[in-house]
Amino acid sequence: MMMFNSLPPKLEGVFSRCLDKYGLAQSEQKYYKLWLSCYLSFCKQGEWCPSAHRSLKAFIRNLEKKGKPEAHIEQAEYAVKIYFNIHEAVQDKKRRLNQLGVDSSWDEAIEALKVAIQLRHYSPNTLKSYTFWTQRFRRFYGSIEIKQLTGTEISLFLSSLAIKEQVSSASQNQAFNSLLFFFKHVLHQKNTEIKNTIRAKRKTYLPVVLSRSEVDAVTAALPEQYRLIALLLYGTGMRISECLNLRIQDLNFEAQTIRIIRGKGDKSRVVPLPQVLLPQLHAHFDALKKDFQSVDKSDYNGVFLPKQLERKYPQAGKEWIWQWVFPAKKLTYIEASEGYKRYHLHETHFQRAIRKAVKASFIPKKASAHSFRHSFASHLLEANIDIRTIQTLLGHSDLKTTMIYTHTVKMQTQTHALSPLDLNLSLGKRAHKASDKNLSCVSPEVKP
């Protein structure tokens, strides 16, 4: 029997959509995928080019030689021809992208920008900001053709942002990165003038850190449905998007860990689950389970899933493990499926509740939901937790990013003379003081 491997996820997703388009039943599609896998394995073993028609002829001859039924051979040939159509469509898209810098319109360029970002699996926020600044750049030079744009135009645009509109240095740098990506990956202009454009110097930003009493005051002022979210942000250092994207299977109560999938920068990590929140989380999960069991399954299509996963496992959204930890109250109607789906709680609802809670607590700081993350890192650093550990918990790639928190805590500098022989004694006293505070080595103590 011919050996074969499973199809690559991206190819399998596109191939499945084509099979759906051609009206093939789900029960038949697995055989077409099997034949395509066999064909690709045949090409790899015989060093044939998968996109060449002569490779298909050689594959058919090999099947005939092995005495395969004619119906199977026709099925295999049809599967490979669908693959050829997919390959030709991809090549055609690449050719159009390569011509964008010469004879394409702005609308096509913006669409190509979105494709380039999605191919690299950048976050939706990156897609939104890059598209926004490219559209601003387009309006600024509306009468100039794309092929005439150079790094000089970028410099003039950034100067206008700084002098005329007086935008912040962070916005200027965001605009520069957006246009650099646009010129490099869409227009295919690797012009040195772009890289040599003068960039705004970003000012040192000190994050807003709440004291422990302020954290307690804000969480106490929050409505019940938002309080657990705030405690998790402070107790684990998660970003608000990471917390709201949690699913049931991401919390491991036995190991007391939380798995964060595809956080910022498409990175994943594991953080400790605060022990003090276990009773609240168990009660919250019990309430979620009751709601899940009481939902009318007739027109409920489950929760939203990543696109590839949803195509591969159409019914996974109805399973308990994929439900949101913090679901939205209302369901979203999807016309294509003629049913309802559930999204997680929207960030703006929680952010609005935080602003009201800060105002009601009379805290003289411009605190936001992200301040809980800053407070998490600062309080751990204040408790003498290793900064490398804090870097790992926060998911920072560079230690320099974590080092900013050294400016947010009170430094206990040794001022009197001390012999190196007495350092162990001094460190022992500091460790004893830390243990007296009953602080966890990985998470600040939070009050339920």
Q: Could you read off the pLDDT tens digit of each residue along the chain, which spans 448 residues?
A: 444 457 777 788 888 888 887 778 888 888 888 999 898 888 888 888 888 888 899 999 999 998 989 889 989 998 898 888 888 877 776 666 555 544 457 888 888 898 888 877 787 888 899 999 999 988 887 767 777 777 778 888 888 887 888 888 888 889 888 988 888 888 887 654 665 566 666 666 788 999 999 999 999 999 998 999 999 999 999 999 999 999 999 999 999 999 998 777 678 899 999 999 999 999 999 999 999 888 877 777 888 887 677 778 888 888 999 999 999 988 888 776 667 888 899 999 999 999 999 999 999 999 999 999 999 999 998 888 888 999 999 998 888 888 888 888 775 544 445 555 554 544 455 544 544 444 444 566 666 5
Give the pLDDT confidence score for residue 1 in this predicted structure. Answer: 40
Question: What is the CATH architecture assignment of 101-195?
Answer: Orthogonal Bundle (1.10)
Cα torsion through 85, 88, 93, 99, rounded to 10? -150
Give the pLDDT confidence score for residue 138 in this predicted structure. Answer: 87
Closest CA to 234 of 372, 395, 390, 358: 372
Q: Over the range 88-111, which residues count as b (16 or more CB within 10 Å of their CB) and which as e?
A: eeeeeeeeebeebbeebebebbeb
Closest CA to 357 of 237, 265, 247, 229: 229
Give the pLDDT confidence score for residue 216 in this predicted structure. Answer: 93
Cα torsion through 83, 85, 88, 94, rounded to 10? -90
- The span from the CA of 273 to the CA of 378, in Å, is 18
In the chain, CATH 1.10.150.130 sits at 101-195
**What is the distance, to the nearest Å, from the Cα of residue 182 to the centroid of all Cα atoms in its chain?**
21
Give the pLDDT confidence score for residue 427 in this predicted structure. Answer: 46
Give the pLDDT confidence score for residue 219 in this predicted structure. Answer: 94
- Please give the class, per CATH, of domain 9-98: mainly alpha
Angle, helices 70-98 vs 106-119, to 10°: value is 120
Give the pLDDT confidence score for residue 227 in this predicted structure. Answer: 94
**What is the distance, to the nearest Å, from the Cα of residue 303 to the centroid of all Cα atoms in its chain?**
18
By the 8 A CB rule, do 326 and 229 touch?
yes
- The span from the CA of 306 to the CA of 123, in Å, is 13
Give the pLDDT confidence score for residue 122 in this predicted structure. Answer: 80
Task: Tell me the one-letter amino acid at 124.
Answer: P
Give the pLDDT confidence score for residue 431 in this predicted structure. Answer: 47
Catalytic positions: 239, 264, 370, 373, 396, 405
Give the pLDDT confidence score for residue 152 in this predicted structure. Answer: 77
By the 8 A CB rule, do 32 and 24 touch?
yes
- The span from the CA of 171 to the CA of 177, in Å, is 10
Residue 282: how many CB atoms within 10 A of its CB?
Answer: 11
